[in-house]
């Protein structure tokens, strides 16, 4: 843990830069920046810089969600933002290019939307790249590129592709008032799809699948018991067998890094490159150590 006293000594007394401190303590510069802000250790002129120039992902999300609903002052004064009205205006109009707040059609980031409708990052990317879900790309300063999706655009797209949406995971009301056609789409899904279609498998599911499969129980019976499709069970058996052949040692350090990167919003592909671990191993580990853990 980085103490306030240590940072005060390095930053104020020894006049080290944030970059120099990050190298001394062997942590990222953003960690040092966030700690300095948390402890309110400011040099002359720092406070204004922190308040107006550095934006976190959750702050950007907050601006997007509330733009057009609240004034710049109200957004800036919120506990999440804590910035001037002018800083909010510049972020919304100059950087995010959200346009006139009076005519603004509410947007969500790709990450916020996929969490709302409860799907994976890979499936959301498939919606965008393969099925043409409209997404506005924005690059925020030195950060990675964001995908912004208008809720009205999403509903227009969803009406066309309603048969590929997992309505059992998509809770009613998470995107506000729904179009009337969703009533029929949800009813059709309930009648034609297994109850657990598209939901993540738990460790208990996997244990049952393999024990039943080894005992000679048919795929059809296993699928009926777990309320899933036969294709899904066959695919899961292949996945489990493949996972068991992978010999990566998931130490506590590796798990902590995986969880940290996932919480920061990095995709499976990005985590794979950062940790130098195969995409499939990262995907399986995220399900085992994060998704299933949250369900318990």
pLDDT reported for residue 22: 81
The answer to whether residues 216 and 274 belong to one domain is: no
Q: What is the CATH number of the domain that holds 116?
A: 1.10.1660
Is residue 228, in this structure, part of any structural domain at all? yes
Q: Which residue has the higher pLDDT, 2 or 40?
A: 2
Domain count, the chain: 5
- Give the pLDDT confidence of 139-167 residue by residue, as tens digits: 554 445 678 888 889 999 999 999 999 99
Question: When comparing pLDDT for 19 and 270, which is higher?
Answer: 270
Q: Are 113 and 171 in the same domain?
A: yes
Residue ending a domain, among 225, 245, 265, is: 245
Is residue 188 one of the residues assigned to a domain?
no
Residue 102 scores a pLDDT above 60: no
168 and 123 in one domain? yes
Question: Rounded to two decimals, what is the model's pTM?
Answer: 0.46
Is residue 183 a part of any domain in this protein?
Answer: no
Give residue-wise pLDDT tens across range 52-98: 567 887 888 888 778 877 788 888 888 889 888 888 888 888 777 77
- pLDDT-based confidence at 134, cuts 50/70/90? very high
Whether 103 shows a pLDDT value over 60: the answer reads no
Q: Is residue 184 part of a domain?
A: no
Burial of 26 (0-12, 13-18, 19+ CB in 10 A): exposed
Across 114-118, 134-138, 164-168, least confident range:
134-138
Residue 114 lies in a domain: yes
Q: Give a yes or no: residue 181 inside a domain.
A: no
Q: Quick one: 115 and 164 in the same domain?
A: yes
- 256 and 239, same structural domain? no
122 and 91 both lie in a single domain: no
| Mean pLDDT confidence for 3-27 | 84
Range of the domain at 206: 194-245
Q: 226 lies in a domain?
A: yes
Is the pLDDT at 113 greater than 60? The verdict is yes
Alpha helices for the chain (secondary structure H)? 4-8, 18-25, 29-39, 46-53, 57-66, 72-77, 85-89, 110-116, 121-129, 151-160, 181-192, 203-214, 219-226, 230-244, 252-263, 268-275, 279-286, 292-295
How much is the CA Rg of the chain, to the nearest whole Å?
23
């Amino acid at each position: 843990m980085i103490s306030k006293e240590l940072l005060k000594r390095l930053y104020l007394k020894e006049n080290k830069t944030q970059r120099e401190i990050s190298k001394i303590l062997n942590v990222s510069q953003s960690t040092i920046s966030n700690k300095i802000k948390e402890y309110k250790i400011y040099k002359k002129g720092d406070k204004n810089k922190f308040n107006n120039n550095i934006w976190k992902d959750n702050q950007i999300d907050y601006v997007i969600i509330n733009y057009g609903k609240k004034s710049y002052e109200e957004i800036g004064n919120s506990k999440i933002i804590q910035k001037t009205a002018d800083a909010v205006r510049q972020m919304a109009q100059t950087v995010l290019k959200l346009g006139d707040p009076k005519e603004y059609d509410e947007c969500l980031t790709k990450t916020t939307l996929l969490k709302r409708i409860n799907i994976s990052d890979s499936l959301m990317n498939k919606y965008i790249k393969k099925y043409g879900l409209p997404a506005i790309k924005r690059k925020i300063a030195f950060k990675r590129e964001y995908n912004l999706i208008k809720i009205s655009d999403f509903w227009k797209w969803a009406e066309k592709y309603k048969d590929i949406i997992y309505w059992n995971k998509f809770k009613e009301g998470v995107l506000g008032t729904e179009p009337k056609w969703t009533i029929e789409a949800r009813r059709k899904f309930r009648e034609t799809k297994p109850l657990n279609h598209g939901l993540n498998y738990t460790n208990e599911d996997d244990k049952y699948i393999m024990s039943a499969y080894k005992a000679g129980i048919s795929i059809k019976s296993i699928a009926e018991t777990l309320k899933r499709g036969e294709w899904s069970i066959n695919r899961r058996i292949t996945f489990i067998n493949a996972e068991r052949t992978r010999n990566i040692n998931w130490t506590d350090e590796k798990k902590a890094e995986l969880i940290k990167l996932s919480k920061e919003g990095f995709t499976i592909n990005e985590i794979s490159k950062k940790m130098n671990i195969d995409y499939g191993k990262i995907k399986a580990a995220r399900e085992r150590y994060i998704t299933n853990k949250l369900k318990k």
